[in-house]
A and B are shown apart, each in its own frame.
Chain A
Amino acid sequence: MDTFFIWLESSTLSLWVRGESGWVMAFPIIIVFHALGMGFLVGVAVTINGRILGLAPKIPLTLLKNFIPVAVLAFVVNAISGILLLIGYPTKALTNPVFYIKLLCIALALWNLNWFNKAVLTNTAYDQGELPIRLKQLAVASTLLWACAIVAGRLLAYTYTKIMTF
């Protein structure tokens, strides 16, 4: 594993992310995109969850599907910026259990969002009135998963034990 970390951390792309190839703004700019993507992805997801729970009931639920492209774009931004951050500091992330908790929370929350998009936001019967309790439970679980992903992500800056192998 150490050989892999050393190989990755000494790569041109890794050096560029860490600002060691001359341009120090690469890392801050990648982090900024990661925060923006979080805002739009979690923002759209949590609004859909809130609507499923019965908040803002005047919004026809199926029409929130129109905001799914925003969430998809935000996810792409965060997948790219996240992979770049991982390439910059692979040891720091991959030796920290909190990083795997974050990834697990995101994977489950995305799986749920994808299912809501396919099975719930397409059903016009849900546009008005109360939704089934099972869907509300999923909406609560999804909101908690996003919250955990955010906490875990923020804690990465405080809980790492090793920064670099290189």
Chain B
Amino acid sequence: MLREISDWLESTMLSDWFISQGVWSWPMSESLHFMGLCLLIGSVGLVDLRMLGMAKGISINAIHKLIPFGVGGFLVNVTTGTLFVFGDADQYIFNDAFRVKLVFLLIAGINVLFFYSTAFQKVKALGPDDDMPLNVKLMAGISLACWIGVICAGRLITFYRP
């Protein structure tokens, strides 16, 4: 099953296209992947830290304006990440570090949906010096831990090549 998926990914036009872009396309995409990571931490990470109690004085409503830049970084990383997986599917499909990374991404995704559907409207109305409710701190902690987990597992992919 996984063998078929991997073979199919590598047989696609996207895979051929990325591989045919020359030797610098891979390192340059990796560099973009790192820049996207920095944008994500610089926005989502800092919003999480504010919700955990750091940088009181900045309201959630104000610091939340950073989120579009983190979403931008995430989209850069989904794009470059997709190119990596299509370009060399074997290296990812059969890689334990990559699987752990996907699990962290999934938890982060569920967590963020949960945050926006249950808590965001309330915390957006809080003042700049307000402490966050415990459930919000918990969600911020899960978010930060998941993104740190994504970076750790992602960086370990190269050491867990099949």
Contact = CB atoms under 8 A, between A and B. Distances in A.
A147 interface: yes
A150 B61 contact: no
Given A43-B46, A58-B65, A59-B65, A32 B39 contact: no
Contacts of A35: 34, 37, 151-152, 154-155
Interface in A26-50: 28, 31-32, 35-36, 38-40, 42-47, 50
Chain A, interface size: which category?
35 or more
A100 to B, nearest CB: 18
Contacts of A46: 38-39, 42
A70 B58 CA distance: 16
B54 A67 contact: yes
Contacts, number: 108
A155 B37 contact: no
Interface string B25-41: 00110110011011111
Contacts of A151: 28, 31
A44 B63 CA distance: 13
B156 interface: yes
B62 A59 contact: yes
Nearest to A51: B66
Q: Identify whether the interface residues of B are mostly helix, strand, loop, or mixed.
A: helix
Of A32, A59, A146, A158, most B-chain CB atoms within 10 Å:
A59
A154 interface: yes
Interface of A: 28, 31-32, 35-36, 38-40, 42-47, 50, 55-60, 63-64, 66-67, 70, 146-147, 150-151, 153-155, 157-158
Contacts of A67: 46, 49, 54-55
A147 B35 CA distance: 7
B12 to A, nearest CB: 25
A132 B69 CA distance: 23
B34 A150 contact: yes
